[in-house]
Amino acid sequence: MALNRRELLQWMGGACSALALSRFAKGQAAQGGNFLPTRQSLQGYRIPDWFRDAKFGIWAHWGPQSAIEDGDWYARNMYIQGSDQYLYHVETYGHPTKVGYKDLVNNWKAAKWDPEHLMSLYKKAGAKYFVSMGVHHDNFDLWDSKYTRWNAVNMGPKRDIVGTWQKAARNQGLRFGVSEHLWISYKWFAVSHGSDKTGPLAGVSYDGVDPQYADLYHDADCARFIDKLDWTDEGIPAAWRQHYLDRMTDLIDKYQPDLLYTDGHLPFEDYGLKMVSHLYNVSAQLHGGQTEAIYTSKLASDCAIGTCLLDHERGVSDLIAANPWQTDTCIGQWHYKRGQKYKTAKKVVDLLVDIVSKNGNLLLNFPLPNSGELDFEEMTTLEGITAWMAVNSEGIYSTRPWKIYGEGPSTKVKIESGNFNEDKQKDLTAEDVRFTAKNGTVYAFVMGWPDKAAVVNALGLASPQNAGKIRNVELLGHKGELKWKQDEASLKVEMPEEKISDVGITLKVELGL
């Protein structure tokens, strides 16, 4: 792609140096910033240490669709005749020929939203970074958007949701991220241009065809995607790609996120590369020339060399990855649903420890209802995580993988790394162990309360891992004397009479020189 000097200066925010231009001429760029919008240049990117040390983040996947409190993808499914949400919509609000999504966005009130309080709870629970949803597939921006009237400052809560979350996160010393789900909206929202196939209103167009709302539902050309949601760039027009880039650039410039999450792959090639390079260069300008920002993609080839962080949606890995990665998951559905059964604190801790042992981070969504206030069951899960992290987080933060990620029955089940496989992971028990390491110390997480003694085979003197002689063993959360023995076969640690936790315990094992 040919670039002139003026274009390069514009992409780099005017922060170009002679050295950067020299690197540009060679098709290269420095990790410290001045990235070019090319695959080659972005290969020089590396994941910053803050993310490798953080391990745990919390996400608020919250927007106008949350106001209905009927779960995921409401804005799309309300236009699919026969779906549960279509039936709910017709019964509750009216037929989508007359009452469309445009008429629901002002139902989002955020009447009890206290971001400072929530952020204090999330920090106490051990989160080191927080992610706000910026825009979902519904094409509604949650900030004071420069490029669309359909935003949270103009409508709904009439507040800058992203900016307010950002302030609360940084007040608590947390890194701040934003998720974008916008790129696929042109296809995702095409169903709003459809109509019922049967019944008294068969063939009568839904409200998405009204040209005065094309800036929400997209132009008439998107109707060719009504019948199939093809999760690719193919067929999406250049005008939408540019509009997407404009909105993402506006988001980056206004909020300088430490993490930008894309729901999918790096989209639209040249447009996406401009977005990512801009994110990294803005970050470098803010951090003394060092890029501290992260961009995530769910496509492994995007992140094979530098470029980005690989994210697995509701996914786990079967091995220790060479590069840091992230699982994003939710305690329930992504958007709030009344009566939803949530993950327990035990399940979340199992995921966290397993992911961290394999060089990953966990980003966990707590879906907020219309009010913006966590419900009782969500608070129960959050409090359980908080209690466990208060005792065991030493073995989580700033650690790195050990020689193996774990041992026990769960390691015998092979799971191919990827998305939507977390339910294939066996529930962890006291027979399962996960490992992390830091400063000559190995942390062995025993994922339950052992009956009498914890046995860790990998820490035996004759184990294949060759751990060496152990100098000392502590049980985090236990202040009394601890009895332990290392022999050729294993490390055996007698459990104290007082039970520390049913969720999981941490043995802090100091190795000899």
Q: What is the 3-state secondary structure (H, E, C) of 132-176?
A: EEEECCCCCECCCCCCCCCECCCCCCCCCHHHHHHHHHHHCCCEE
Q: Which of 347, 361, 346, 370 is nearest to 423 (CA)?
A: 347
Q: Which of 93, 122, 120, 123 is nearest to 105 (CA)?
A: 93
Give average pLDDT by consecutive 10-residue segment, the chain, 513 residues. Answer: 35 36 38 85 97 98 98 98 98 98 98 98 98 98 98 98 98 98 98 98 98 98 95 97 98 98 98 98 96 98 97 92 97 96 97 98 98 98 98 98 97 80 85 96 97 96 94 95 95 95 97 78
Q: What is the pLDDT of residue 427?
A: 87
Q: What is the pLDDT of residue 32?
A: 59
Q: What is the pLDDT of residue 428?
A: 95
Q: What is the pLDDT of residue 513?
A: 57
Q: In Å, what is the CA distance from 380 to each residue of 242, 249, 255, 390?
A: 44, 38, 32, 15
Q: Which two tokens stand for residue 294?
A: 């992260």
Q: 3-class secondary structure for 16-51?
A: CCHHHHHHHHCCCCECCECCCCCHHHHCCCCCCHHH
Q: What is the pLDDT of residue 16?
A: 35
> At 113, is the secondary structure helix, strand, or coil?
coil
Q: What are residue 145's phi and psi, to 5 degrees?
A: -75, 135
Per DSSP, 89 falls in state H
Q: Which two tokens stand for residue 407?
A: 């041992």
Q: Which two tokens stand for residue 21?
A: 């231009």
Sign of the Cα torsion 287, 291, 297, 300 reads negative
Q: What is the pLDDT of residue 316?
A: 87
126 by Cβ neighbours in 10 Å (0-12 / 13-18 / 19+) ranks as: buried
338 by Cβ neighbours in 10 Å (0-12 / 13-18 / 19+) ranks as: exposed
499 by Cβ neighbours in 10 Å (0-12 / 13-18 / 19+) ranks as: exposed
Q: Which fold has domain 49-61+108-185+225-395?
A: TIM Barrel (3.20.20)
> At 357, is the secondary structure helix, strand, or coil?
helix
Q: What is the pLDDT of residue 115?
A: 98
Structural domain spans, the chain:
5-42, 49-61+108-185+225-395, 69-103+186-224, 406-511
> At 196, is the secondary structure helix, strand, or coil?
strand
Sign of the Cα torsion 309, 277, 62, 386 reads positive
**Does an H or E element contain 376, and which?**
helix 376-392
Output b/e per residue, 444-480; b: 16+ Cβ within 10 A. bbbbbbbeeebbbebbbeebeeebeebeebbbbeeee
Q: Which of 488, 486, 491 is nearest to 462 (CA)?
A: 488
Q: Where are the alpha helices (DSSP H) in 256-364?
A: 270-286, 345-357
User: Taking a C-beta distance cutoff of 8 angstroms, is the pair 132, 178 a contact?
Assistant: yes
CA–centroid distance for 340 within its chain: 20
Q: What is the pLDDT of residue 27?
A: 36
Q: Which fold has domain 406-511?
A: Immunoglobulin-like (2.60.40)
